[in-house]
Every structure is written in structure tokens, then in C-alpha cells.
Structure 1
Amino acid sequence: MSEAAEVAAYRVRMKADLGLEADTVVEAFRFGDSPDLADQLVELVVSGPKRATVGWIADAELDGEVLAEVGDHFIVLDGAGRPRCTIRVTETRRGSLLSADEAFAWDEGEGDRTLAWWLDGHREFFARRSVEIGLPFDEAESELLFERFEVVHRAG
């Protein structure tokens, strides 16, 4: 089965299991900017510690991505493009990188889960993205979308 067919089949099964209307839009995506990082992050989601994420709004808009809203569902893919689970967004807010707090860093579930580790990791990530997309990133000014979510369905 192709990746697209595997995602489509999972989407149908997941919508039926969750009681979502067949025409409900549920996008699929990978966390991170590489297959290896996607694998690491989806494991944190599936195993439990990762319950939050943050995205650079200008980057998402450049890619034509829809910004998440509370109640939205998303299929999370692994590095190979296979569906692993579905999440539902429970909270969103906009702010700069420097507006993150210890609670958000903990909920992201990465590294040692401290704000210092989180800031270092996300400075590196957004610096890479800045070079890749040709837009400047400013940790005090660039607008980010902070999201919290819950896992509502698992593939498998």
C-alpha cells in the first residue's frame, strides 16, 4: 500500500472510530524538519510526554498550511510518512519564542523538559528554518503559534 493510500485508509478508520463526519478535514503532518526528527517526536507523542508543539506562523503561511485552532484534529506521521496517531488541539496562543514558560517546555516533552533546553533546541530549529525559507527569525519578534493537544486515536 502506498503512503498516500495508507494515510487515506487510516483517516477513514479514525473518523469512523471517533464519530467524525466523513467530510471533516483532517490534515496529516510530520513534526520536525527531517525524517529522523519526525520519528523521535512522534515517539514522544505516542508514548505520552509530548503534549505541545510550537510553529513559526510565517513559515506555515509560506507553506500554505492551515493554522491550528482548538478542536482541530491532525494525523501525526512518522519519518516514513506512516500514520501513528491522531491528535486534537486543546489550546492555542500566539507569542514570541521568548514568551514560552517552564510549563510549556515541560508539555513539549523534549530533552530534559526545562525551559533552558527548550529555548536552545528551538533557537537551533528556527535558525535552520530561517536559512531554508529565506526569512529572518527573531526570538523576541517573530510570531509563533503555541499549541497543546491530546492523543485521541492511535494507528495500528
Structure 2
Amino acid sequence: MPAQSAEQLWKAYNETTDTNGASYQTRWFGDQKNPTEVQALTDAVLNGTKTATTTPLDTYTNEQVAIPQPGDYNVLLNGDMKAVAIIKTVVSELIPFYRISAEHAWHEGDGDRTIGDWRKRKEEEFTPSLEAHGRSLSSDTPMVSEVFEVVYRAD
């Protein structure tokens, strides 16, 4: 039975695992204003297609949000902003845009999963937000490259 809230899901997970006092943040992938997109990305995480993500470093700086670190926990929210799983960051690296690997692109699970398609999609995705903050996307733009795993599911 799915948990009612992030707090309840985290409590249920803690009853099965010793997290050594770790805390969690809530998280979703995609634009919160587009629940269909968020749900599709949540489904990709839950079915194992999406096990990685990339975000411009400037996004963390502009939003004053901590960069994910290995061992961080997040309660994954679906398109309805309901808690559905807990994911744990396994790897977090700072890498220039054009040094993101084909393997990482594959694990992001977007499009045809090739590095060429990934670069095209990410240029379209990242350019508007970078430009809104007076930046532009270049081959050297620092990216936070993250790998995560699902460690607990509400179902």
C-alpha cells in the first residue's frame, strides 16, 4: 500500500533499514508544472530505465540547493506529488558538459539513449534556464552528474 506522505514512507523505510540517523529531501524529476512529464520520469525511475541525471551546477547555485552527495536519500514524488519510493545517491561528480559519458547518457534513459541524442535534448533543456541567469551552455559548462538507486518502494 503506498504511503500517504514522504514522512510516512521515510518512517516505513527506516523500520526496515538502519540509515544511521540520515535525513531525506523530497525530489521529483521534470517540471513540477507538468505532472505528465514528472510521472513519466518517475515511472522510468521505478522501472529501472532512469538511474542517472545531470543538472547544470548553476542550477544548484541559483536555487541555493545543496549538490547531491553519495549517501544522500530522497523521497521520490510522482506526478501527483505523492511519495512513491526512496532513492539514494550513489555517485555525484562535477563534469564539463561535453565530458558526460555515453554510459551516463544511457543511464539517464531519455530518447534513444545515445550521447548525441542526450546532448541535443540537454542543450534544449538547459539553455533557457542558463540564459535566464546570464549564462550560456558551452562544452565546459560544469554539470553535476548523478547516479542513484531505488532503495525502497511504496508498493
Fold match by TM threshold 0.5: yes
User: SS in structure 1 opposite 2:135?
Assistant: coil
In 2, Cα distance between the equivalents of 1:105 and 1:43?
Answer: 18
In 1, Cα distance between the equivalents of 2:134 and 2:23?
Answer: 29
Q: CA RMSD in A?
A: 1.9
Does the 8 Å contact 1:42/1:78 carry over to 2? Answer: yes
User: SS in structure 1 opposite 2:75?
Assistant: strand
In 2, Cα distance between the equivalents of 1:145 and 1:85?
Answer: 22
Pair 1:79–1:139, CA change in 2 (3 A): farther
Q: In structure 2, what is the equivalent of residue 79 of structure 1?
A: 79
Q: In structure 1, what is the equivalent of residue 130 of structure 2?
A: 130
Quote how far apart the aligned CAs of 1:17 are.
Answer: 2.3
Quote how far apart the aligned CAs of 1:84 are.
Answer: 1.7
Q: In structure 2, what is the equivalent of residue 139 of structure 1?
A: 138
Q: In structure 2, what is the equivalent of residue 104 of structure 1?
A: 104
Q: Percent identity?
A: 22
Amino acid at match of 2:85: C
Relative to the length of structure 2, the TM-score reads: 0.87
Amino acid at match of 2:83: P
In 2, Cα distance between the equivalents of 1:139 and 1:104?
Answer: 19
Q: In structure 1, what is the equivalent of residue 30 of structure 2?
A: 32
Q: Structure 1, unaligned stretches of length 5 or more?
A: none
Deviations 1:82-112 (CA, angstroms, capped at 9, x unpaired): 1121111111211122111211111111111
Relative to the length of structure 1, the TM-score reads: 0.87
In 1, Cα distance between the equivalents of 2:55 and 2:14?
Answer: 25
In 2, Cα distance between the equivalents of 1:96 and 1:127?
Answer: 15
Q: Which deviates more from structure 2 when the two are superposed, residues 32-41 or residues 47-56? A: 32-41
Does the 8 Å contact 2:91/2:148 carry over to 1? Answer: yes
Structure 2 residue 5 is the aligned partner of structure 1 residue 6: yes
Does the 8 Å contact 2:30/2:41 carry over to 1? Answer: yes
User: SS in structure 1 opposite 2:53?
Assistant: strand
Q: Structure 2, unaligned stretches of length 5 or more?
A: none
Q: In structure 2, what is the equivalent of residue 58 of structure 1?
A: 58
In 2, Cα distance between the equivalents of 1:79 and 1:93?
Answer: 27
